[in-house]
Amino acid sequence: MKDLAEQSRAYRRTTRTLADGREIIYFDDTPDAPPRTAEDTRDLPESQPRSEVRRDPLTGERVAIASHRQTRTYKPPADLCPLCPSTPGRPTEIPESSYDVVVFENRFPSLAENVPDTPSTVDGMPMVELAPGRGRCEVVCFTSDHSSSFGQLSAQRVRTVVDVWADRTEALNAVPGVEHVFPFENRGEEIGVTLSHPHGQIYGYPFVTPRTELMQKVAKDHLEATGRPVMGDVLAAERAAGTRVVAEGEHWTAFVPAAARWPVQVHLVPHRQVPDLPALTDAERDDFAHLYLEVLRRLDGLYDRPLPYIAGWHQAPARTGRDLAWLHLEVFSVLRTADKLKYLAGSESGAGVWINDATPEQIAERLRG
């Protein structure tokens, strides 16, 4: 473990600018990686996103409106992938001819720092609050290999990605107006992925997301009632029972939550309460890299095919309730059998009441096997 930590901290960080002014950052963990000096030769107009955020007067939830995203790239062939390295005559979003891990501002962001001001309410509806969609959306490419996947990365590369997530969480937490940072990966067409290159995204929201608000309320109520963090009690109970545990490391445990809503769902939870990714120690980051690869191997083995999934980091808001949060990664899939999808029907989409066709204990047993 020590060798892995020493290697992963040796990455080189290089910041450059794309043709339309967006920031791109290279994180190189290959010892002989060339200096990142390539220029973006594309003739791109200056990015002018026009996102706004509206508050639903009936639920209090916020909805981001980003109509400029209708023209974003949609399922290009592999030889036209905008996330692959640039080649002579075919410049992409990454000007270099190779890379290890790279982060850049999304060309079609749901939220951006430079959006124009808006009125305070929707015209004719003073009960609908309106605000500019100010935040930040970044793309994270895990490898330059178009045909690879996160589960095929080396442990060293996964550790670098963890460091990148932590780097960007810390940076976005400091962006004025950003209240919550959410790194995530969507994988597979069944999930809705429109670019098949191995990549994830990081959203810096101008508000605390509804899911996090709810988890913080539950955590506060549990702490006031028992004096203990709710995730700590959940983790202790799951480890003691063992029936829903999928895999364990020295510092992390992966388990199917007892009230799983998805046909495949796993939580990866550190044994120590930390608010976010930057708070993880070197040893915890090392252990996560190995455990997550083991979990992904089991997920892909479930139906003997690459599993479509969403993996998202639940971490503390930038400025509120940080003492209540317990960092964890949630991975879930809509695939309920090898060839059947779980569709969100009336109960889930309309009423918000989830119905699972398998018990969490069955899901865990299949993943362990």
Q: How many CB atoms lie within 10 A of CB 350?
A: 9
Cβ-based neighbours of 365, under 8 Å, separated by 6 or more: none
- pLDDT per residue, tens digit, the chain (369 aa), is 334 444 445 799 999 999 999 999 999 999 999 999 999 999 999 888 889 999 999 999 999 999 877 666 767 888 899 999 999 999 999 999 999 999 999 999 999 999 999 999 999 999 999 999 999 999 999 999 999 999 999 999 999 999 999 999 999 999 999 999 999 999 999 988 889 999 999 999 999 999 999 999 999 999 999 999 999 999 999 999 999 999 999 999 999 999 999 999 999 999 999 999 999 999 999 999 999 999 999 999 999 999 999 999 999 999 999 999 999 999 999 999 999 999 989 999 999 999 999 999 999 999 998
Task: Return the pLDDT at 74.
Answer: 66
How far apart are the C-alpha atoms of 103 and 286, rounded to whole Å? Answer: 21
Write down all domains in the chain, each with its CATH number in brackets.
2-207 (3.30.428.10), 211-368 (3.30.428.10)
How far apart are the C-alpha atoms of 337 and 320, rounded to whole Å? Answer: 40
Task: Return the pLDDT at 241.
Answer: 98
Task: Return the pLDDT at 40.
Answer: 97
How far apart are the C-alpha atoms of 361 and 369, rounded to whole Å? Answer: 12
Task: Return the pLDDT at 2.
Answer: 39
Query: % helix / strand / coil in the chain, to the nearest 5?
Result: 30, 25, 45
Cβ-based neighbours of 45, under 8 Å, separated by 6 or more: 20
Chain length of the chain: 369
Q: What is the pTM of this model?
A: 0.95
Task: Return the pLDDT at 228.
Answer: 98
The token pair at 181 is 């940072």
Quickly tell me which residue has 């309106």 as its tokens: 130
Residues facing 181 on adjacent strands: 204
Q: Which residues are the active-site residues?
A: 199
Task: Return the pLDDT at 47.
Answer: 80
Q: State how far the alpha carbon of 228 is from the alpha carbons of 33, 175, 221, 296, in Å.
A: 47, 32, 10, 31
